[in-house]
Chains A and B, each alone.
Chain A
Amino acid sequence: MIKADRKEVLRYLGYRGSQPSAEMTEMISDCIRQLEEAIVPAFVYRRFPVVFHDDGTMDIADMHIRSEGLFRNLKGCSAVYMTACTIGPGCDRLIRRAEVTSMSRAAVFQAAGSAMAEDLCDRVNEEIRIREEKEGNVLRPRFSPGYGDLPLELQRDFMRILNMSKECGITLTDTLLMIPSKSVTAFIGAAACQGDAQQGCDACAERADCIYSYREEL
């Protein structure tokens, strides 16, 4: 079952190492309970070969992609997975509902929903890892459209290639926002050896100013 890691929930809420009050702790537990009933996780992934060109571009499925970040991430990979997952529209409904009566609850649903989507990504990641292990491959860190210099416009290709609306109920607005909001698309590279790609917060230019970044506990 999909879980919301409490530490992650607190991090998304902007707590930096300090302890929440008893009321907040209870609210978080209660929201997680409600979310567990409301979410309907769904995902889809497909495996494609990847071709690297000398000009720093790549071909994946029927796409020709230019992105230094993704290139660095995938260098050395023999295959790449395109993945999409969502915890479903229930979380958005709970947020909308909470906004009527309690913004603090809305914020907690928001944070806990994100933590659950993250957990689902990790599980999908793990499923793919086990598949690739049999082939002697290891996985590279997830890399999503909009991350670094990877164009957000690729969301349209994810929609098309993975048939996301039918396979897992994710749709896209004209402005490339995914609905349900707690949805994630990503490339995951598979290679015989680990690359030198940085991971998580280390790979992000905004790290220093970001209130969500992982840091040493105070």
Chain B
Amino acid sequence: MTAFRELLGREWLFLDGGSGTILQSMGLRGGELPENWNLTKPENVIALHSNYLNAGSDVIYTNTFGANRLKFPGNLEEIVRAAVANAGAARIQTGREDAFIALDLGPTGRLLEPVGDLPFEKAVELYAEIVRIGVREGVDLIVIETMSSGYEAKAAVLAAKENSDLPVMVTVTFNERGKMLTGESPECIAALLEGLRVDALGINCSLGPKQMYPIVREMSELTDLPLIVKPNAGLPKEKHGRTYYDVTADEFAAVMNDMADLGIQVAGGCCGTGPDHIRKTIELLKNRPLVRRNVRKRTVVTSGTKAVEIGAKPVIIGERINPTGKKRFRQALAEHDINYILQEALRQEDAGADILDVNLGMPGIDEPALMEETVRALQGVTSLPLQLDSSDPEALERGMRVYNGIPMINSVNGKAKNMKAVMPLIAKYGGVLVGLCLDENGIPDTAGGRLEIAGRICRQAEEFGIARRDIVIDGLAMTISSDQNSANTALETIRRARDELHVSTILGVSNISFGLPNRQIINSHFLSMAVANGLSCAIINPNNADMMAAFRASLALTGNDDNCMEYIQAYGNVEITSEVRTGSVSKTVPAQPAGLGVCIERGLAEQASKAAKEALKTMAPLDLINSELVPALDKVGKGFEQGTLFLPQLLMSADAAKAAFAAIKETVGDNSGQKKGRVILATVRGDIHDIGKNIVKVMLENYGYEVLDLGKDVPPEVIAETAVRENIRLVGLSALMTTTVVSMEETIRLLRERKPDAKIVVGGAVLTQEYAGRIGADAYAKDAMATVRYADSVFKENS
């Protein structure tokens, strides 16, 4: 048999057509699992495959679309073995020994974290299990199909590659608007799958050939990998409770013929198509030569839903997620305050960053574990792509593995050992790699010396199968306070890297002014110069108005801002103050700030923060808290309890108080006085609705409690262990539904056993006082204020 990889992309390969719809015509009932037929009706499954082989299909998919441990907890192995055997039998019966058997992996039917509840590694393991069986049974390739989430596709690809050397093809599903269910564009998914080094990629299901055509065209311009198209026989229609498809074989084949002009190389059909659709398609296509595609390859980093091109126009990489020189950030890392990191991320996103740098290197922390945790948390809230920034390859790998997209990786340098450690990671997970122009001998003083290292990095990368376009060279901005020529050298390096090596470039801009006063003056001017010299990526603080002004002005001046629209949008309606020292851009003079108490009562977060900072100039933090903050909070809390004001007002005040506390912490460090007590909060196992718990958290923190927030879907053991380890006196549990109150009850039982002196308060939509009593809780809290009052009573009586 000719090896599949030798044919793929060089000759036409024809796949099979729909299977579910055909099996239904053989008697499979709606809602019945087709995979069971591998065991109960093998003759039908063999007939299905045989019909396609007789029609001319070169590749048949095993009947294992939904075969995974979740759906077949008892007999997965049996099902997969039978499925491969059935495909093999069809191949022999039809005399088509030249045909290939593809192990078919479909979606798990569950959504991955953070959108859903399936952990990424669990998804990898679910797929790995099927792959191991399929490989053992002798399949020829692995096909991952009908994926509606890129993240799940990544889990499946990793499982395939980590458990076999077989070719891997991936097809995904788009809606008519050209988006996947979880929001990915063709650009995002093409970059992701290319990064994961699949053998071929494409589109199947959901759409008929006509609706799929524009998406195929878009995809054909985005990738040079072999392109697969497997449409439905039109859009589904319904009659008497049955779904049907009505694009005929001739109509189907005609559009497939048009798609051949776009340069597809692999063709088949999905729902509603049968052997006739495949036969007609083969008739029209098989004698046509494959069309070469003209692909403009680009450098792209992606998040789940957003693609950012590097090298087209300059982009901003936000530098704020980094402990270096930041006391408050170091404190957050030491306290494991992930929420602080998330806030920094969202602020930079709002300020206009395109990509966020994530650097968590600090002595005394487990950087690899924290990198993984932070990447997971960040991709739950920000839509921006990330730049994983670490000198520890293990930290990089942990982050890359769970990252949903193609990250930037900062960085590799010219040391042989470093390149061997980092580059294989890119070859496995995909990524755009930042190359630092330094090696065993340090940083060269001249641009020529730096380019020599940059060239070496590019060549070494090629050996690992990393394209030059996925290398971004760092020109290394060193402070001009110690070497007055260093800016010139950095600028010459990026300019020549662009012109001679044809790579994109990056600079950590603010290093240039280290040791000098009023650094933003130097920084902003250096940024403009760097953009003028062709810089692709500027690592800066996007919250700094001077830097953003320099950046936007530079884009406008270098022809990178169409009609100066971005500039006008940013500065069209603002007055620039003439103060040279800060040069800050601000909207017209703000009104005299109101007192902190009033701001909190009215729920004005921004003003509360300003008022707190203002008040701290004349007041001790504790006095401010006791005389303004607490009374205002109390007033609002009482109003809520008496029913004169409602939850949104309570929450707005809570947000304002939180902003004020943050301002105090930022100004004077954590000096907000003794905590009243430490409380565990968790949404119990199986439950993913945690907004109620999060409301309680904000309220408790505002009332002076330290909250250990264990998150959602938390196993009883974790809650009990934490309660014991941290010697916790109060545990708050939330559950939304009767189905999850069961695990609340289990958690309470375990807590009683392991930590009998801890009090337990519960809340959630279906709970009542009586229900809470029945499952053994000490108290039921009907809302967040009730939880605060209960906590007060617990810590008062025990203290």
The reply on B483 being an interface residue by CB < 8 A is: no
Given contacts A40-B179, A152-B737, contact A179 B647 (CB under 8 A): no
Given contacts A13-B646, A97-B346, contact A175 B181 (CB under 8 A): no
- Asked whether, in the complex, the Cβ of A14 is within 8 Å of the Cβ of B691, the reply is no
B748 on the interface (CB 8 Å rule)?
Answer: no
Q: Which of B30, B110, B740 contacts A161 (CB 8 A)?
A: B30
Instruction: Decide yes or no whether A65 CB sits under 8 A from chain B.
Output: no
Q: Is the CB of B646 within 8 A of A179?
A: no
**A102, B146: Cβ atoms closer than 8 Å:** no
Contact with A along B381-417 (1 / 0, CB 8 A): 1110000000000000000000000000000000000
Docked-complex contact B116 and A179, CB < 8 angstroms: yes
Pick from A14, A102, A175, A176: contact of B647, CB under 8 Å? A14
User: Within 8 Å CB of A161, what residues of B?
Assistant: 30-31
Q: What are the residues of chain A within 8 A of B116 when measuring CB–CB? A: 171, 173, 179
Is B630 part of the contact surface with A, judged by Cβ < 8 Å?
no
Is there a chain B Cβ closer than 8 Å to A106's Cβ?
yes
Contact B739 A152 (CB under 8 A): yes
Contact residues of B between 155 and 192, Cβ < 8 Å to A: 175, 177, 179, 181-183
Interface residues of B in 635-674 (CB under 8 A from A): 646-649, 651-652, 654-655
Please give, as numbers and ranges, the residues of chain B lying within 8 Å of A148 by CB-CB distance.
none
Q: Inside 8 A of B380's CB, which chain A residues have their CB?
A: 93, 96
Query: Given the known A-B contacts A174-B686, A175-B740, are A104 and B655 also in contact in the complex, defined by CB atoms under 8 Å?
Result: yes
Which residues of chain A from 1 to 17 have any CB-CB distance to chain B below 8 Å in the complex?
13-16
Does A154 interact with chain B (Cβ within 8 Å)?
A: no
| Pairwise interchain contact B648-A108, C-beta atoms closer than 8 A | yes
Q: Please name all residues of chain B whose beta carbon is closer than 8 Å to the beta carbon of A100 when the two chains form the complex.
A: 339, 342-343, 346, 381
> Which A residues lie within 8 Å of B737 (CB)?
146, 152, 175-177
- A165 contacts B by Cβ under 8 Å: yes
Q: Establish whether residues B646 and A101, one from each chain, have CB atoms under 8 Å apart when the complex forms.
A: no
> Which A-chain residue is minimally distant from B697 (CB atoms)?
A103
Contact B648 A107 (CB under 8 A): yes
Q: A21, B694: Cβ atoms under 8 Å?
A: no
Over the window 117-137 of chain A, the binary record of Cβ atoms lying under 8 Å from chain B Cβ atoms (1 yes, 0 no) is 000000000000000000000
Is B268 close to A, CB under 8 A? no
A89 within 8 A of B: yes
Does A33 sit at the interface, judged by CB under 8 A?
Answer: no
Report the nearest A residue to B604, measured CB to CB. Answer: A23
Chain B CB within 10 Å — which of A96, A110, A159, A172 has the most?
A: A96
B559: shortest Cβ distance to chain A, in Å?
A: 30
Q: Is the CB of B241 within 8 A of A46?
A: yes
Tell which of A96, A104, A166, A177 touches B652, judged by Cβ atoms closer than 8 Å. Answer: A104
B490 to chain A, nearest CB (A): 35
Segment 27-75 of A: residues with Cβ below 8 Å from B: 27, 40, 42, 46-48, 61-62
A174 to B73, CA, bound (A): 13
Q: Bound complex: CA of A142 vs CA of B689, how far in Å? A: 24
Q: Decide: B654 and A104 in contact? CB cutoff 8 A.
A: yes
A14 to B782, CA, bound (A): 13
Q: State how many residues of chain B have any CB contact under 8 Å with chain A.
A: 57
Q: Does B583 make an interface contact (CB < 8 A)?
A: no
A23, A171, A179, A180: residue with the most chain B Cβ atoms closer than 10 Å: A171
Q: Contacts A171-B111, A173-B117, A175-B740 hold; do A106 and B691 have CB atoms under 8 A apart?
A: yes
Cβ of A21: which chain B residues have Cβ within 8 Å of it?
A: 602-603, 649
Chain A residue with Cβ nearest B380: A96
Across the two chains, which residue of chain B brings its CB closest to A22? Answer: B602
Whether a CB of chain B sits under 8 angstroms from the CB of A189 is no
**Shortest CB distance A29–B (Å):** 14
Return chain B residues, CB-CB under 8 Å to A159: 109
Residue of B nearest to A13 (CB): B648
A76 at the interface (CB under 8 A from B): no
Q: Is the CB of A99 closer than 8 A to any CB of chain B? A: yes
- Distance in angstroms from A38 CB to nearest chain B CB is 9
Flag A161-189 by CB within 8 Å of B: 1 or 0 each: 10001100101111111011100000000
Among B146, B383, B689, chain A packs the most CB atoms within 10 A around the CB of B689
Q: Are A181 and B647 in contact (CB under 8 A)?
A: no
B238 touches A46 (CB 8 A): yes
- A157 close to chain B: CB less than 8 A: yes
Q: What 0/1 readout, one digit per residue, does chain B (110-150) give for beta carbons within 8 Å of chain A?
A: 11001111000000000000000000000000000010100
Contact of B739 among A96, A108, A176 (CB under 8 A): A176
In the complex, A20 has a CB within 8 A of chain B? yes
A165:B694 contact, CB within 8 angstroms: no
Q: Once the chains bind, are B110 and A171 in contact (CB under 8 Å)?
A: yes
Given known A-B contacts A89-B183, A103-B651, A104-B654, A175 and B691 have beta carbons under 8 A apart: no
B648 contacts which of A24, A46, A157 (Cβ < 8 Å)?
Answer: A24
Bound CA span A40–B778, Å: 42
A–B Cβ pairs within 8 angstroms, 15 of them: A14-B646, A16-B646, A24-B649, A46-B238, A96-B380, A99-B691, A100-B343, A101-B343, A104-B603, A105-B655, A159-B109, A166-B146, A166-B205, A175-B743, A179-B116
Chain A residues near B (Cβ < 8 Å)? 13-16, 18, 20-21, 23-24, 27, 40, 42, 46-48, 61-62, 88-90, 92-93, 95-97, 99-108, 110, 146, 152, 157, 159-161, 165-166, 169, 171-177, 179-181
State the B residues within 8 Å of A (CB): 29-31, 107, 109-111, 114-117, 146, 148, 175, 177, 179, 181-183, 205, 238, 240-241, 339, 342-343, 346, 380-383, 602-605, 646-649, 651-652, 654-655, 686-689, 691, 694-695, 698, 736-740, 743
List of 7 A-B pairs having minimum Cβ-Cβ separation, nearest first: A175-B686, A104-B651, A169-B181, A104-B652, A175-B739, A100-B342, A160-B31
